[in-house]
Amino acid sequence: MSKHVVVLGGGIGGIATAYNLRKLDKNLRITVVSGRPYFGFTPAYPHLALGWRKFEDITVPLANILPKHGIEFINENGESIDPDANKLKTTGGKEIHYDYLVIATGPKLVFGAEGQEQYSTSVCTAEHAMELNKKLEDFYKNPGPVVVGAIPGVSCFGPAYEFAFMLHYELKKRGLRHKVPITYITSEPYVGHMGLGGVGPSRRLMEDTMAERSISYVANVKITKVEPDKVIYEDLEGKTYEVPCKLSMIMPRFMGPEVVASAGDKVANPVNKMVIVNRCFQNPTYKNIFGVGVVTAIPPVEQTPIPTGVPKTGMMIEQMALAVAHNIVSDIRNSADRYAPELSAICIADMGSDAMGFYASPVIPPRSVVKYKKALWMHWIKSAFEKYFMWKVKTGDVAPFFEEKMLSLIFGTHPIHVCKDCAGSPGSAC
């Protein structure tokens, strides 16, 4: 009888894992269990917030696409995992037996500053982005100061930078920029750190770009409170400051959702409840459980005065998904071959008129290669990539042969590597 792989989560990580598995083994039974009925291209959520994209442009119903590729879809959330019995229970009461479980639920959002959830809006989900879009429509009629920021423990800073730069562009287009002071307030030790200790000259680039666009910034501080008309932060000495605002977009920090915690402390990291994985993104205790995407526990690249986490970007997640699919298929075939993702990243921060792109390989220092570029055409590359990714999701192949060849030619990157020793923390050298 064919083995049953259950993939929990229908985002970039879950869909990429399910498609890679299908490509590697036509006989596998694959089930995706996901609470949201659609796949959403998260990197375009800031664009959705600004009304530059419609919901339909960047989402696709999973029930329409997965069965076409021989993948079952259950539109429910996973509620609990019994790793000893190999069973997943869903919120609808289904008990699903698995031979392998891939946890790719993405994060639970933690709004750690008082009033943050009530008075600011994130761009982390399509629903939040659309809510922010409505707020912005009112805001344009009666503009005032804006705060964009990140609370302590944030790992995903890119969307905050993007939102600040893109809002600057939108306000300029509407002839409102001179009425809107924008302040970026962050837990990063300096702007451009991005939870990564910086990437090449990212500090200088971000500082220059903020100066060019008249965006004030405060780094190395804790946002403690958000009120309807101000954001309050604290410096390292505990002194508090207030910045007036009419609208704020403050990034929450991420932790693993309850379903991961339900699997016990051998699966869920005790600190952030994310999935404990080794270099090959396999749980060291329950070898038939794997983690992919934002929900995996990757240690910070360095200690910062105010805690920050390491971002898990789209390219890193696609690499995790490919490695995990290979590892599961190798295990089924009784092969000893194991694979670790390279964990390299191409990140493009859209700024409306132009964009700033970084390539780091590997993301976790020491890095062999760092490249960067700020240019008008980078903005078009970002848009083209979005269309390309949506096309991949609709066609059912997230790793077409030409993509790996092209990335290898341009960047010398290879998504996965044979790993001789899977023990060790994710991203550490094999």
Q: Is 332 or 364 the residue whose CB approaches ligand FAD more closely?
A: 364
Pick the stretch among 147-155, 207-215, 273-281, 291-299 that binds ligand FAD (CB under 6 A).
291-299
Residue 302, Ramachandran bin (φ over 0: left; ψ between -120 and 50: alpha; else beta) = beta
Report long-range pairs for 92-98 (Cβ below 8 Å, ≥24 apart). Answer: 96/6, 96/31, 96/33, 97/4, 98/4, 98/5, 98/6, 98/288
If the CB atoms of residues 34 and 272 are measured against ligand FAD, the closer one turns out to be 34
Q: Judged by CB under 6 A, does residue 309 bind ligand FAD?
A: no
| Residue type (1 letter), 181 | P
Which residue is nearest to ligand FAD, using beta carbons? 11
**353 contacts: CB under 8 Å, gap ≥ 6:** 169, 376, 379
Structure tokens at 390: 């949506």
Among 5, 14, 152, 419, binds ligand FAD (CB under 6 A): 14
Q: Scanning residues 335 to 364, which ones bind ligand FAD (CB under 6 A)?
A: 347
Q: What is the DSSP code string of 134-146?
A: HHHHHHHHS---E
Structure tokens at 361: 């390989």
Measure the CA–CA gap between 341 and 361, rounded to whole angstroms. 11
- Indicate if 124 belongs to the active site: no
Answer for which of 6, 21, 33, 422 binds ligand FAD (CB under 6 A) is: 33
- Rounded Cα gap, residues 291 and 282, in angstroms: 6
| Phi, psi at 42, each rounded to 5° | -50, -40
Angle at which helices 314-332 and 12-24 pack, to 10 degrees? 40
Catalytic residue among 124, 156, 419, 422: 156
Cβ atoms of 22 and 67 within 8 Å: the answer is: no
Q: What are phi and psi of 227, to 5 degrees?
A: -120, 170
Q: Which residues pair with 282 in a beta bridge?
A: 290
| CB of 351 vs ligand FAD, minimal distance in Å | 12
Stretch of 93-101, 270-278, 312-320, 405-413 contacting ligand FAD, by CB under 6 A: 312-320
In the complex, minimum distance from the CB of residue 303 to ligand FAD, in angstroms, rounded to a whole number: 23
Determine, following the binding rule CB under 6 A, whether residue 9 of this chain makes contact with ligand FAD: yes
Dihedral, CA of residue 395, residue 399, residue 402 and residue 408, to nearest 10: 160
Candidate ranges 130-138, 165-173, 234-242, 308-316; the one touching ligand FAD (CB under 6 A) = 308-316
One residue of 34, 262, 272, 278 binding ligand FAD per CB under 6 A: 34
Taking CB under 6 A as the criterion, the residue among 59, 77, 183, 186 binding ligand FAD is 77
SS3 of residue 85 by DSSP? coil
DSSP strands (E only) in 228-343? 230-234, 240-244, 247-251, 253-255, 289-291, 339-341
**Alpha-carbon span 177 to 173, nearest angstrom:** 8
The smaller minimum CB distance to ligand FAD, of residues 244 and 264, is found at 264
CB of 108 to ligand FAD, least distance (A): 8
Answer for which of 30, 154, 156, 306 binds ligand FAD (CB under 6 A) is: 156
Name the minimum Å distance from CB 334 to ligand FAD.
29
Cα 306 from chain centroid (whole Å): 21
Catalytic residue selected from 124, 245, 280, 347: 347
Please choose, out of 41-49, 145-153, 219-227, 406-414, the segment that lies near ligand FAD by the rule CB under 6 A. 41-49
Per-residue binding string, ligand FAD, 185-224, x by CB under 6 A, is: ----------------------------------------
Q: How far is CA 133 from the centre of its chain?
A: 21
Q: How far is the CB of 143 from ligand FAD (least distance, A)?
A: 23
Q: Is 278 in the site for ligand FAD (CB under 6 A)?
A: no
Name the minimum Å distance from CB 257 to ligand FAD. Answer: 5
How many residues bind ligand FAD (CB under 6 A)? The answer is 35
Strands 215-218 and 222-227: unpaired
* Known catalytic residue at 347: yes
Tokens of 92: 């609808």
Residue 196 or 332 having the CB closest to ligand FAD: 196
Q: Is residue 268 part of the contact set for ligand FAD (CB under 6 A)?
A: no
Classify residue 323 by its DSSP letter: H
The residue with tokens 């291209």 is 41
Which of 317, 322, 356, 398 forms a contact with ligand FAD (CB under 6 A)?
A: 317
What positions carry a catalytic annotation? 156, 347
Using CB under 6 A, list all residues that contact ligand FAD.
8-14, 33-36, 42-43, 45-46, 77-78, 104-106, 123-124, 156, 158-159, 257, 259, 293-295, 313-315, 317, 347
